[in-house]
Structure 1
């Protein structure tokens, strides 16, 4: 088993396409439960919403777990690496400003899955927002604060 990070391998062969939907996951550095702090989670929400409002993506669903994020969106402008880089770098600045820190917030890289035409995006969105329930963080999805979905 390898002990060195292999996130650089995720980038090989990666292609992004405008109008395609993606399910993206990115992880907090060292999997620290950073977003148990609701205020820090809200700072990330601002960045996700800004990407939507700027027309970079059409957000369909997202959930911010204590140590990672799942985000389902349709790519509108730029390419996938640029959008993720923007969200991660801007959120790092605001989160570190709040924490008065210069620590790395995110692990390098991210995992993405292109959504196929036959995939049920509404079902994917429900799966995403049910993450806190499956993780045992809440007893009802509505009790978790850091999620949103276009249809729910």
Structure 2
């Protein structure tokens, strides 16, 4: 759901390259586009592309059927521009994104680790898999 003025909260907000955010990006109308394995893998490739080209540092991500959780540190782009780039790169006739996104700044290392755990446990909590190891659309720098 888009809340009028929500994007205005981000306008003028400054962040540094050390800031990390938990971002949630929903699909349009919460449609489960990512039940399609290939659409989910396409999004994974886009997130990896952003990291490989030094736009960001990904700490963790998990692609759920109708949204993505991304624990990310923007580097050479603002958070809004980074999200816009991901949406633009992946949008197609088969995949539509909701207009807005949710983000929460991470304040310390303990919150960072707890948020990463929360993100990768999503498929298990949602009852999609019995073990996160059975889910193919996630990654975390803390798990090798």
Q: TM-score, normalised by structure 1?
A: 0.86
1:25-71 deviations in Å (ceiling 9; x for gaps): 00011111110111110000011111111111110000000000000
Change in 2 beyond 3 A, CA 1:83/1:16: farther
Check if 1:151 corresponds to 2:137.
Answer: no
Check if 1:35 corresponds to 2:31.
Answer: no
For structure 1, the residue ranges without an aligned partner over 5 or more in a row are none
User: Contact (CA 8 Å) 1:8, 1:109: kept in 2 or not?
Assistant: no
Partner residue of 1:113? Answer: 104
Q: How many residues align?
A: 140
State the 1:74 CA deviation. 1.3
State the 1:9 CA deviation. 2.3
Rounded to whole Å, the distance in 1 between the matches of 2:131 and 2:95 is 32
Over the residues paired in the alignment, what is the CA RMSD in angstroms?
1.5
Alignment of 1:29-68 (within 5 A): 29-68=28-67
Q: TM-score, normalised by structure 2?
A: 0.91
For structure 2, the residue ranges without an aligned partner over 5 or more in a row are none
Change in 2 beyond 3 A, CA 1:78/1:61: same
Partner residue of 1:140? Answer: 131
Rounded to whole Å, the distance in 2 between the matches of 1:90 and 1:19 is 25
